[in-house]
Chain A
Amino acid sequence: MNEWLHRLANRIANVTVEPTLQQRQALEAILKDPRRKTGFEVVSAIASTFDPEAGGLSLLRAQIRQHDEAAVVALCAALGALLLPWPDAVLSRRFRGLSERLTGFASLDDRLTDLHLLRLLVEPLGDTVGAAIEVLESAPEANVASLLAQHPDIKPVVEAWVFQLYIGDTPVDATTVLPPADATAHFGALFWRAAEAHPPMLAGGYFGHWHYRPED
């Protein structure tokens, strides 16, 4: 986790593009949210200094309670996602198209795939997203598993990509996941569509529907 945080902070520190007005407003909203109070000081230190060596990481270690750690990490990911440039329309379209190919689901919502793209870019595996897109597009009819066998360097990010789309959370290792930065990822998670159900906490439709086979 330490290393993950360090790399995340580096990514944020290396951002050279000015946040847009929309990004700033979203960032302010996040920082003002009292639910984030546990990580507030930490995040604002990172945001204001953009310099992990200037005490940002030590503040992180000192101020979070253990069971909030992952939530703070997710918040940092959201922060990072906001500070990075929003993907342009071309990248967005390519990512969405490939997401459909990888997951087997057509007509994915582009807001949802953009969220996932941003999250992947912010994560430590984010460096390999571009390469993964290039490789997958270079062989549109190829069996994906075979392609990944030939390009093992992109396998982790492709697996994380698919996992995120299906589950909503971001995998960190074989057993650990991080929550999303936006609840849309949960409500758009494909596992529930595949299971012919619905995301927990969203109504399934009407009283008693669970007594019958699903519609679709």
Chain B
Amino acid sequence: MAERIGDLHDVIVVGAGVVGALIACRLREAGRDVLILDAGGTLPGRDRLVENHVLTARRSPGGPYRAEADPRAPSMESDSSDVIQPPGPPFKSTYERMVGGTTWHWFGLTPRMIPSDFRLRTLYGRGVNWPIDYADLEPWYCEAERELGVSGDHAEQDGLLGGFRSREYPMTPVFSSYSDELVRSRIDALTFEGIPLRLVNTPQARNSRPYQGRPACAGNSSCIPICPIGAKYDATVHIERFARVERGRGELRERTVVTRIAAAEDGSISHLEATPPDGNPVELHARLYVVAAHAIETPRLLLLSGLCRGNTHVGAYLMDHFNRALVTTTDEQTFPFRGPPTTSGIDALRDGPFRRLSAAFRVSLGNDGGGRTFDNARIIRQALSEGRYGADLRDTVRQRATRLIRAACLIEVLPDPANRVSLATDKDPLGLPKARIDFHVGDYEQAGLDRADKFLKTLLDGIAPGGSQTAQASAYDGAGHILGTTRMGATSSDSVVDSFGRVHGHSNLFIAGCSTFPTSGTCNPTLTAAALSLRLADLLITELTPAEVRS
């Protein structure tokens, strides 16, 4: 029998990633009593994380964090069996289970979804419509940009693909890179399928000046896997702010794994069961509950708890974005490996009639040489195989390493009920069924991937004619955008939550984050998730305010 711990909180937030941290902070600043639970722990200082990444053989986004991970936390690395996937093209994206969540190693890109992304069904007969549209969310986008600290070009983004902006960005744009300017000078003459191409500065949660006590970006060029100086936003910003708020009450409990959400007969949530670090289960009580545990653990928790009985959509519609990249050598020097790994992109292909037939995509230009498509060591190996040493070697490396450009497409994925998170029969270290992922690439996405390949070739042939091109070895890479598994909609016949995230049939339970997305859209999802979270937080504040005070 779990031990009941503490008072009745106003809100318990499960998950101390960006979404949970934003909500918890907002609620506490409104004078509320908030408890945050996270299955992972607080990480050590950034120097140590930097060192971890150098010393590990696996230089993946999780490189700095592996050595710090809670042993009970599932790993989604390709060789791990913590999450079960049947054989076949796997679901490739991973997430982190620790305080601050996956924002520790996110790219930091914060474009907004475009109005069409919310109305895919109506416009193109594909996917579904969101129960809200861009205009509903716009004020919250502005709020999210302020909270995260986004640098962007207001004039350039206002009206882009129909997305109006009601406020300027908090910070002016992050400077474009030297190679962006080279591309800009060559891209004006290019079109793809009749669509003119234009380079646009990428809005990003990366400081272009000191912001809220964090320094301006100094070009450490390692946003993934870590920003050593904190110029890139990560959720520890709001976790630390949460701890400093002098209103309300707030507590963060780390390494506390929620194992069950208990519901009463009427569907209202009575308490959470959790396992703290000492292993002795506890019960935790609140008036309202918010699950912000990302899109694998959130549906898993609902399924483990037997909630949303009869709702077949729990865990369904798992989405990601696919990445396709192409690297080319160039005639002129581009001087990559400097500044943020991307500073500009092309938005022109995010929308259009083609979306009836194939997935749309957003294009990023890379400042990172070959990125993960092309191993820098190859340049050294090649030069050594040519018998180059001394000044000849140095000059050859200089010649080759300074003449690279990478371009990548972020390709949308449609919601498909067969792509889903469910419970496996295997058990995890706590004795709970592991998550199982079933995922396949559909025709729409494949058409998008093929079109992206064609586009990348057109682009790089146009920018660097005659350059030697290297494509990524895999058919696709995941983008780390795990979406859709508890999607929003009007009723339980087609969704798990309403447009605020309230779970159908469980009036005091809310879900926040990317798992509520009905469609993937054509851009990185974190800003949208943050906007939705702030919108939810305001609703929660209203719900917690006594009716007589509200009126």
Contacts and interface: CB of A to CB of B under 8 A. Distances in A.
Interface in A164-215: 166-169, 171, 174, 177-181, 183, 185-186, 190-192, 194-198, 200-214
B165 interface: no
A183 B340 CA distance: 22
Interface stretch (A10-18, A54-62, A100-108, A110-118): A100-108
Interface stretch (B292-300, B393-401, B425-433): B393-401
Interface in B196-222: 208-209, 216-222
B377 interface: yes
Interface stretch (A45-53, A64-72, A121-129): A64-72
Contact of A211 (B54, B176, B401): B176
A204 B394 contact: no
A159 B387 CA distance: 10
A183 B55 CA distance: 7
A137 to B, nearest CB: 15
Nearest to B58: A67
Given A210-B219, A211-B178, A196 B402 contact: yes
A144 interface: yes
B: contact size bracket: 35 or more
B364 interface: no
Contact of A203 (B55, B178, B229, B379): B229
B337 A195 contact: yes
A104 B392 contact: yes
Given A201-B220, A204-B338, A210-B338, A71 B53 contact: no
Contacts of B376: 167, 191
A98 B304 CA distance: 63
Contacts of A5: none
Interface residues of A, number: 58
A104 B393 contact: yes
B57 interface: yes
Given A67-B66, A195-B402, A208-B175, A200 B337 contact: yes
Contact of B401 (A105, A195, A210): A195
A205 B547 CA distance: 55
A74 interface: yes
A44 B214 CA distance: 42
Contact of B380 (A70, A105, A167, A180): A167
A213 B219 contact: no
A198 B376 CA distance: 13
What 7 A-B pairs have minimum CB-CB distances, sorted nearest first? A210-B339, A70-B57, A145-B387, A104-B394, A204-B219, A197-B337, A203-B218
Interface of A: 35, 66-71, 73-74, 101-105, 143-145, 148, 159, 162-163, 166-169, 171, 174, 177-181, 183, 185-186, 190-192, 194-198, 200-214
Interface of B: 50-58, 66-68, 75, 77, 79-80, 175-178, 181, 208-209, 216-222, 226, 228-229, 333, 335-340, 343, 367, 369, 376-377, 379-381, 384, 387-395, 397-398, 401-402
16 contacts: A68-B66, A71-B55, A74-B57, A101-B389, A181-B55, A183-B54, A183-B55, A191-B401, A195-B335, A204-B220, A206-B219, A207-B216, A207-B219, A211-B175, A213-B333, A214-B335
